[in-house]
């Protein structure tokens, strides 16, 4: 890449960079729980039909207002009631409700009227109001905390509220609350999650880009110690990241919670490519080659190897397209594009700049560099003199790792994905402790034949299922059609807590049924569909983990089959939480299919590159080893296998194979010179070993940057990848020489 062609290449990249700088400003961020729905799942289709007939189970925003000395105080209740009414006027809010707006139905000789749950203007009745409220299962954990120190305003929002509207709504609610003198407040709901988690994504991407950039700058200084060497490396890496992020903006790709990995990924992958090509170019100059010949040899030898490493890395990321979860699939496709962008930048930009530089302009030689030949000689000697010890050690580690894999769990929890040290996490924990939490769990009720859900026999079974749900402590805020009839029964018995029961006989039920349309029941329309053949049992379940919730669901299903008449009515669990939790079932299968496909494709690429079945085997064994270790780390460190963590294996396989390709490419080139097996291995260690070690160290520390993330899955991802890529380096340096000598025993 010299002369006129080089100048044209530089001009093109500068123009692309300018366009990319603009499109970076057009990047889109999104966080919807729907993103994590497993596409193509039959239960997802059922849920969507269910939502069409009723409404979404997460279209709410809850504000919990706390008074440390208890909520039953006149000034607090007056302010709280005023806040409830003003919230109704906010854009995107359809309705707001709280205990100060809730009423009991009251039957009189003349008509049915209502009685306020709390007489805000009559403090002398507060104690009586409090006693009745705290005995009512409809209110405790739903609209008031068990210690009576916090009350909630439940705001029903527009369905599928989008990010911009969600941002504005949360800001409006916060500003409104802060006009009052409340002790503290907490929020929960879809809009709040969208606003805060998208803000987290932006912080994470900015932070990871800055810290990774500083890390690379330090490493480049330690390696090259020359202005031009450092500048070329940093500009190349920065340009690659800019073009990649600009490409995402140009394509309109939305960034999700795991997008914070992009800057780290681009910087370290770009750094790896730059170091390999610069190291080779410098080595050729040291041998006395001209700049033109040095860059020509570099592109011919390292350019091809780097192309193969980029393709195999892209294939590793591409294996994520088998995932049924959109963010994971998009991450794989985007990362694969990023790897190829980094490669093209090195070939068409970095090499052009290098071709203009002398050896002394790029690197400052010194005593510190002599450690690399000594270290590579040590690896060579150990693998030659102690092959059996190394092999037995590898087998022992493999056995320990396989046991660790058996410890892997998929007990995914929302709290484990919440940003560390942020108010949204504090709020989430507060609602888990004092209220019903966030995870919705609905049960769809389907009446069979010509029956209606409001028929006595069907309604009675709905009530029995609702009563059974109350036996599970994590399940709270349970509401169904039977709630309406219990309320009417209580109304006809002086609204006593003991009278909040399902009608005792069909005649009473039918009498109450005629009263349903006469009583204002805001929730009735979302509990029974228009045709009257379907109903909904609504509840929320605490964040006790996907596996635990799955077991609770199985127990509920078994009880329903044994205790309801399935010829009359069918009960089907559904809801946002259930669908998201199904990801755990798909992660393992999609992970295995994706990796299997990636291994096959990489094997074919190796075949095209080496055209020697022995080198294909030698290349695959050391790279399967780190995958096993990654699984072991999950098990031993108690990290749940969930959607975000599943990308670890694709990253590891895609990147780890790079060092293998560089090592074996150099080995093959040395073999062609007819210098013998041991001499070829020794030459490979001396000439390629340094670049492999340096790039692996950069990868190790690059992903360790994620330990400073506020997003726990990102912390786990950085930790796992760093440790495993380090093990991949050791696997290459220890196992490949032994495998080579084992498969080439008689050749000279």
| Runs of H (alpha helix) within 287-370 | 291-298, 304-318, 326-345, 351-354, 359-362
Structure tokens at 637: 């460190």
Q: Which residue has the higher pLDDT, 289 or 459?
A: 459
Q: What does the alpha-carbon distance between residue 709 and residue 695 come to, in Å, rounded to a whole number?
A: 23
| Region 452-460 average pLDDT | 91
- Cα 741 off chain centre by: 43
The answer for residues whose C-beta is within 8 angstroms of residue 540's C-beta and 6 or more apart is: 436, 437, 438, 439, 440, 441, 475, 476, 477
pLDDT per residue as tens digits for the range 313-362: 888 787 777 777 777 788 888 888 998 998 888 888 888 888 888 877 77
pLDDT at 277 over 80: yes
Half-sphere exposure of 597 (CA within 13 A, CB side): 17
Measured CA to CA, the distance from residue 254 to residue 278 in angstroms comes to: 34
The token duo for 386 is: 């102690």
545-550: average pLDDT: 84
Per-residue pLDDT for 522 more than 60?
Answer: no
For the segment 13-24, what is each residue's pLDDT rounded down to a tens digit?
A: 888 888 999 998
How far lies 35's CA from each of 327, 381, 585, 670, in Å?
6, 52, 16, 50
Residue 259 predicted with pLDDT over 80:
no
254-268, 313-327, 351-365, 590-604: range with lowest mean pLDDT:
590-604
The Cα 710–Cα 417 span in angstroms is 10
From CA 428, how far away is CA 439, in angstroms rounded?
Answer: 11
| Cα 426 versus chain centre, distance | 19
Q: Is 154 left (phi over 0), alpha (psi -120 to 50) or beta?
A: beta
The pairing of beta strand 442-447 with beta strand 569-574 = antiparallel
348 C-beta neighbours (distance < 10 Å), count:
18
Write down the domain spans for the chain: 3-30+225-406+582-743, 58-195, 442-574
Confirm if 463 and 480 have CB atoms less than 8 A apart: yes
- Report whether 712 contacts 640 (CB < 8 A): no
Q: In sequence order, what DSSP letters do the residues of 547-558 get, joined into one string?
A: HHHHHHHHHHHH
pLDDT beyond 80 at 112: no
Q: Which residue has the tokens 């069907």?
A: 458
Looking at 62-71, 190-199, 452-461, 487-496, which range is the least confident one?
A: 487-496
How confident is the model over 478-492, as a mean pLDDT? 85
Which class for 620: exposed (0-12), middle (13-18), buried (19 or more C-beta within 10 A)? Answer: middle
317-326, 370-379, 734-743: segment of lowest average pLDDT: 317-326
3-state secondary structure at position 418: coil
Whether 226 contacts 364, CB under 8 Å: yes
Alpha carbon distance 140, 436 (integer Å): 9
pLDDT band of 463, cuts 50, 70, 90: very high
647 with 321: CB under 8 angstroms?
A: no
Closest CA to 697 of 730, 657, 665: 730
**Cα–Cα distances in angstroms (integers) from residue 656 to residues 15, 309, 316, 721, in the given order:** 33, 9, 10, 10
pLDDT classification of 106: cutoffs 50, 70, 90: low
Q: Tell me the average pLDDT of the chain.
A: 83
φ/ψ of residue 440, rounded to 5: -80, 145
Amino acid 748: pLDDT: 44
CATH of 3-30+225-406+582-743, one of 1.10.287.10, 1.10.10.10, 1.20.1640.10, 3.30.565.10: 1.20.1640.10
Alpha carbons 539 and 541: distance in angstroms, whole number: 7
More confident residue, 163 or 390: 390
| Dist. CA 145–CA 743, nearest whole Å | 70
pTM, entire model: 0.79
pLDDT-based confidence at 183, cuts 50/70/90? Answer: very high
Q: What is the mean pLDDT of residues 17-35?
A: 79
Q: What is the tens place of the pLDDT at every residue in 189-206?
A: 888 988 887 788 778 778
Start-to-end CA span in the chain (Å): 37
- The rounded distance, in Å, linking the Cα atoms of 681 and 688 is 10
The residue among 36, 32, 208, 29 whose CA lies nearest residue 644 is 36
DSSP letter assigned to residue 504 = S
For helices 712-743 and 371-385, give the axis angle rounded to 10 degrees: 60
pLDDT at position 389: 92
Q: Are 573 and 446 in contact (CB under 8 A)?
A: no
- pLDDT given at position 316: 76
pLDDT > 70: percent of the chain: 91
Say if residues 9 and 556 touch (Cβ distance below 8 Å): no
Distances from the Cα of 396 to the Cα of 30, 297, 391, angstroms:
45, 42, 9
**In this predicted model, what pLDDT tens digit does every residue of 613-632 receive, in sequence order?**
787 888 888 878 888 888 88
Residue 483 confidence (pLDDT)? 85
Position 715 pLDDT exceeds 60: yes
Coil, helix or strand for 261? Answer: helix
Task: Indicate if the pLDDT at residue 484 is higher than 90.
Answer: no
702 pLDDT exceeds 90?
A: no
Residue 445 scores a pLDDT above 70: yes
The predicted structure's pLDDT at residue 521: 47
């Amino acid at each position: 890449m010299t002369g006129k062609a080089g100048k044209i290449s530089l001009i093109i990249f500068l123009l692309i960079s300018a366009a990319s700088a603009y499109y970076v400003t057009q990047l889109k961020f999104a966080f919807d729980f729907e993103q994590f729905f497993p596409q193509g799942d039959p239960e997802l289709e059922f849920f969507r039909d269910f939502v069409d007939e009723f409404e979404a189970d997460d279209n709410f925003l809850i504000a919990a207002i706390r008074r440390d000395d208890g909520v039953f105080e006149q000034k607090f209740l007056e302010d709280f009631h005023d806040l409830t009414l003003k919230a109704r006027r906010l854009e995107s809010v359809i309705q707001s409700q709280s205990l100060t707006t809730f009423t009991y139905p009251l039957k009189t000789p003349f008509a049915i009227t209502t009685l306020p749950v709390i007489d805000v203007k009559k403090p002398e009745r507060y104690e009586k109001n409090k006693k009745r409220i705290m005995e009512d299962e409809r209110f405790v954990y739903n609209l008031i905390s068990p210690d009576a120190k916090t009350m909630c305003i439940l705001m029903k929002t527009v369905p599928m509220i989008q990010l911009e509207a969600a941002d504005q709504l949360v800001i409006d609610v916060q500003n409104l609350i802060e006009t009052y003198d409340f002790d503290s407040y907490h929020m929960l709901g879809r809009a709040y999650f969208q606003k805060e988690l998208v803000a987290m994504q932006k912080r994470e991407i900015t932070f990871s880009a800055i810290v990774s950039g500083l890390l690379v700058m330090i490493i480049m200084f330690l390696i090259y110690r020359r202005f031009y060497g450092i500048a070329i490396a940093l500009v190349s890496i920065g340009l690659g990241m800019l073009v990649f992020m600009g490409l995402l903006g140009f394509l309109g790709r939305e960034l999700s919670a795991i997008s914070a990995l992009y800057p780290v990924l681009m910087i370290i992958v770009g750094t790896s490519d730059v170091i390999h090509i610069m190291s080779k170019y410098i080595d050729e100059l040291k041998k006395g080659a001209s700049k033109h010949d040095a860059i020509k040899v570099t592109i011919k030898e390292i350019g091809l190897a780097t192309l193969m490493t980029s393709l195999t890395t892209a294939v590793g990321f591409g294996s994520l397209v088998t995932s049924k979860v959109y963010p994971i699939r998009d991450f794989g496709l985007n990362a694969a594009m990023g790897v190829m962008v980094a490669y093209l930048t090195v070939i068409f930009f970095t090499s052009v700049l290098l071709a203009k530089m002398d050896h002394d302009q790029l690197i400052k030689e010194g005593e510190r560099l002599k450690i690399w030949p000594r270290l590579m000689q040590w690896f060579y000697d150990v693998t030659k003199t102690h092959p059996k010890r190394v092999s037995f050690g590898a087998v022992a580690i493999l056995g320990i790792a396989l046991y660790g894999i058996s410890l892997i769990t998929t007990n995914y929890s929302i709290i484990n994905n919440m940003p560390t040290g942020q108010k949204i996490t504090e709020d989430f924990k507060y609602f888990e402790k004092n209220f019903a939490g966030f995870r919705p769990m609905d049960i769809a009720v389907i009446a069979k034949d010509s029956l209606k859900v409001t028929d006595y026999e069907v309604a009675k079974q709905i009530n029995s299922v609702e009563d059974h749900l109350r036996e599970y402590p994590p399940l709270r805020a349970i509401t169904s059609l039977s709630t309406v009839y219990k309320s009417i029964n209580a109304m006809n018995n002086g609204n006593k807590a003991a009278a909040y029961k399902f009608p005792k006989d069909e005649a009473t039920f039918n009498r109450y049924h005629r009263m349903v349309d006469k009583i204002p029941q805001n929730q009735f329309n979302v509990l029974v569909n228009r045709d009257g053949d379907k109903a909904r049992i609504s509840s929320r379940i605490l964040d006790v983990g996907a596996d635990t919730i799955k077991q609770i669901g199985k127990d509920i299903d078994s009880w329903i089959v044994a205790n309801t008449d399935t010829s009359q009515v069918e009960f089907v669990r559904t809801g946002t939480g259930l669908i998201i939790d199904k990801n755990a079932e798909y992660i393992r299968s999609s992970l295995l299919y994706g990796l299997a496909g990636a291994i096959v494709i990489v094997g074919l690429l190796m075949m095209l590159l080496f055209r020697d079945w022995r080198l294909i085997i030698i290349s695959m064994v050391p790279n399967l080893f780190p995958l096993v270790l990654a699984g072991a780390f999950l098990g031993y460190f108690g990290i749940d296998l969930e959607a975000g963590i599943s990308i670890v294996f694709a990253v590891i396989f895609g990147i780890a194979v790079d060092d293998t390709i560089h090592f074996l490419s150099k080995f093959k080139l040395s073999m062609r010179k007819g210098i013998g097996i041991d001499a070829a291995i020794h030459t490979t260690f001396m000439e390629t070993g340094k670049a492999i070690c340096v790039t692996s160290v950069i990868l190790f520390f690059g992903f360790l940057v994620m330990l400073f993330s506020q997003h726990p899955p990102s912390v786990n991802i950085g930790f796992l990848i760093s440790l495993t890529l380090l093990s991949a380096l050791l696997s290459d340096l220890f196992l490949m020489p032994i495998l080579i000598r084992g498969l080439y025993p008689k050749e000279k």
